Amino acid sequence: MKQAVILFLVGWFVCVSATQGQTATGKSEPVRNIILMIGDGMGVAQVCAAITVNHGQLNMAEFPVTGFSKTSSATDYITDSGAGATAIAIGEKTYNHAIGMDADTMAKPTILEIASHHGKSTGLVVTSQVTHATPAAFVAHQPDRYMYEQIASDFLNSDIDLFIGGGLDHFTKREDNNDLTAFLASDGYQLVYKMKDLEKIKSGKVAGLLYDDKPPRYSKGRKDMLPEATKKAIEILSQNKSGFFLLVEGSQIDWACHKNNDKYMIEETFDFDEAVKIARQFAEKDGHTLVIVTADHETGGLTLPEGDLKSGDVKAKFSSLSHTGIMVPVFAFGPGSSQFTGVYENTELFFKMMKAFGFPLEQ
């Protein structure tokens, strides 16, 4: 009888500890996988607008751990997406427009590259061109975000296993007349140009260049590309028993807010939240996956002067056509998530991910 009780208690302790990413000795167990999800330009008001239209519910808002990230860059109170993503990717504040470089234009290893160095599979899924500032900051090292063709070349020099988004032209219609898709193919990437062809791929390296330039907005033909590609990316990357790092970006929340277009903004936030649902469902089943949902900065200076949770009506009022300095939310789920509570600089996201993965800071 006594033994049974002790066994039960030990079982319970191991069980509870495992869900918190701790071993029975209290030491943190490294997280196997991290899915980092960035809603570009997605501040608290954007999240709140989507919650209101959806009558009070949003997947990201159901994450158990919440925090705030401060987004200023090394040079400006208001960051751009290059510096914002680079801060998260390398753990250092840099100048606006930088891609994977510090304030002295020194290339620094990104969390994606470090994860790859430690034997993990890596990937990204975005609703912009794959060469656009946010994804670029995790893969490329260039002094300026608009050096799209050089950024495309950096994909070839990287170890990334999978990338899905737009921007095919940056690989094929280039000033140097090179067709980078030929190099990608000889590097072992399966080239995919249509969503229906992506569905057929079950494993291996993937270069998913689904659109010549920008993907269209959700309601103008993109449909469920982001959640579906996220699902496929997880299916492929999770085959590596050493784990994976996946970046998912809802790129167009920012573009909608630059246009002060509330319908477009809510549509894109919903779409991003569907990808969040896919990530969380995987993490719940897997038990070794940390999911982080955040933003690089707020866009539009959005506020909500009127709303109704019952009818789902919300009045969105923008105060800017550009980015603002407002803190952005961080939602975290899974082992290692407890360290994401509080208010901190965006650079801390890098160090928290490093710690969760159990990577030493000195490489």
Q: Which two tokens stand for residue 349?
A: 């996201």
Answer yes or no: are the C-beta atoms of 112 and 73 closer than 8 Å.
no
* Separation of alpha carbons 262 and 267, rounded Å: 8
Q: Which does 337 bind (CB under 5 to 8 A by kind): Mg ion, Zn ion, none?
A: none
For residue 203, the one-letter residue type is S
Q: How far is the CB of 110 from Zn ion (least distance, A)?
A: 20
For residue 244, the one-letter residue type is F
Out of 40, 92, 228, 273, point to the residue binding Mg ion (CB under 5 A): 40
The nearer residue to Mg ion, 52 or 299, going by C-beta atoms, is 299
Q: How far is the CB of 256 from Zn ion (least distance, A)?
A: 10
Looking up tokens 């943190």 gives 28
CB-nearest residue to Zn ion:
254
Q: Which does 251 bind (CB under 5 to 8 A by kind): Mg ion, Zn ion, none?
A: Mg ion
The pairing of beta strand 298-299 with beta strand 342-345? unpaired
The nearer residue to Zn ion, 154 or 254, going by C-beta atoms, is 254
The pairing of beta strand 313-317 with beta strand 303-308? antiparallel
Q: Which two tokens stand for residue 56?
A: 């009070």
Out of 22, 73, 79, 134, point to the residue binding Mg ion (CB under 5 A): 134
Of 101, 82, 44, 105, nearest to 296 by C-alpha is: 82
Q: How far is the CB of 297 from Zn ion (least distance, A)?
A: 7
Q: How far is the CB of 271 from Mg ion (least distance, A)?
A: 14
Q: Does 339 bind Mg ion (CB under 5 A)?
A: no
Q: Does 150 bind Mg ion (CB under 5 A)?
A: no
Binding positions for Mg ion, 246-275, rule CB under 5 A: 251
Q: How far is the CB of 65 from Zn ion (least distance, A)?
A: 27
Residues that bind Zn ion (CB under 5 A): 254
Burial of residue 212 (CB within 10 Å: 0-12, 13-18, 19+) is: middle
Classify the C-alpha dihedral 247-79-158-171 as positive or negative. Answer: positive
Q: Does 81 bind Mg ion (CB under 5 A)?
A: yes
Burial of residue 17 (CB within 10 Å: 0-12, 13-18, 19+) is: middle
Q: Per-residue x/- mask for Mg ion, residues 164 to 193, rule CB under 5 A? A: ------------------------------
Enumerate the β-bridge partners of residue 293: 37, 331
Q: How far is the CB of 41 from Mg ion (least distance, A)?
A: 8
Among the listed ranges 108-116, 131-139, 174-182, 192-200, the one in contact with Mg ion (CB under 5 A) is 131-139
| Contacting positions for Mg ion (CB under 5 A) | 40, 81, 134, 251
